[in-house]
Structure 1
Amino acid sequence: MQHAPAPAIPPSFYLKRHAQVVHALILAGVALLLAQPVLLLAFDRPWLDLLGVDSFLGLLAPPADGPARWRTALVSLLPVGGGLYALRQLWRLFSEYGHGRVFGNVAQDALMRFAWAVLLLALLLPIARGLMSVALSIGNPPGQRFLAITIAWFDCLHVLFGAVLVAIARVMVEARRLADDNAGFV
């Protein structure tokens, strides 16, 4: 009995499969992002406590009344919008990767935009959480209103991650420029 080697699978198959998995994860991320304001509006305080929405959004406590829920939901649209923009760029990037266009202009543009979106979101999320704390407490009596700015270790990690992504995107743009220059000499 002879053993026949398994047929070789082209590398583009793995890249296409990876792009499909990332697209599925992006859809899950979109659903989670869109769930944030909906959860704030749809449930009252006992349910918000049970669901852990306050920790999900980085709030000190869930909104106690209807107007506070509306204000907090409206403020939460800022990071949700930024997150949706970043995920849109990631979708574009992996669509290009799935078609094998790893070093194309569209892929590099999407990578650069995603990198900047990640960096800017990392810098702006502590501010958004602060605005949500104001939205939560603005209906309180004078002396009980507050602004809470929190910066955690993962905020710093997100900034570093964003900075690394921007650097990688710049390196890829420079590599493509050099490759185009070298191709002109041949």
Structure 2
Amino acid sequence: METKSNLDGIRKLGGVLERVCLFGAVAVVPLTALYWAAFNVLPQDMTASVAELAVSPRLPAWVRALCFLAALVPATAFMVTLLRLRCLFALYKEGCIFSLANVVCFRRLSKALLWWAVATILHTPLFGLAVTAANPPGKHILKLGIGSNELGLFFVAAVAVVISRVMEEARRLDEEQALTV
């Protein structure tokens, strides 16, 4: 019985995940737009947390447009993160594991994760202002906060930064060893 090598498995899974990341990146903005376009006809359990901030559970089109723009901040950062992941998985699909291109790609991924974390923090006040824009004076909400999602993203981003530096050092040491006679 023949067993597949680990690299073959990495290549195959890399190809699958490359396509999944591309699909996700392409779908983020249209799905976000669809949610806000259909907001007023969605089931209440999908809109309750948003509607409780507004004076009316039905949001006017201009408020939904503002909410969509606010949602684009983390959505765009998420899309960039998925595209960086796609590049990494494309390298894995090609069998490229510890090359300079891999290290650069992983470093870019760690930066994208950091920007995604920042974007989720920025989304909170922008969204609060957007969803309450039609509220009467004195009923607007400015929300600020950092929760476990944001902290988790920052932690994952920090781990990715460290891993990218470890990968760079391993690549450099491997290169030095290859040049040693």
Whether 2:56 is the aligned partner of 1:64: answer: no
Instruction: Quote the RMSD (CA, aligned, Å).
Output: 2.4
Q: CA deviation at 1:53?
A: 5.3
3-state SS of 2:42 partner: helix
Residue matched to 2:87: 92
Whether 2:103 is the aligned partner of 1:113: answer: no
Residue matched to 1:38: 34
Residue matched to 2:163: 168
TM-score norm. by structure 1 comes to 0.83
Amino acid at match of 1:125: T
TM-score norm. by structure 2 comes to 0.86
Q: Is the 8 A contact 2:77 2:119 kept in 1?
A: no
- Which of residues 127, 131, 156 is equivalent to 2:122? 127
Tell me how many residue pairs correspond in the alignment. Answer: 177
Distance 1:131 1:88, change over 3 A: same
Rounded to whole Å, the distance in 2 between the matches of 1:54 and 1:24 is 34
Residue matched to 1:149: 144
Amino acid at match of 2:97: V
Any stretches of 5+ residues in structure 1 without a counterpart? 1-5
1:104-130: CA deviation from partner (whole Å, max 9, x where unpaired): 222211111111111221133021122
Distance 1:60 1:21, change over 3 A: farther
Would you identify which runs of 4 or more consecutive aligned residues in structure 1 move more than 3 Å?
59-63
Residue matched to 1:3: none
Q: Is the 8 A contact 1:37 1:74 kept in 2?
A: no
Among all aligned residue pairs of Structure 1 and Structure 2, give the percentage whose two residues are the same amino acid. Answer: 25
Rounded to whole Å, the distance in 2 between the matches of 1:120 and 1:63 is 32
3-state SS of 2:36 partner: helix
Answer 1 or 2: higher relative contact order, Cα 8 Å, separation at least 6.
2
3-state SS of 1:116 partner: helix
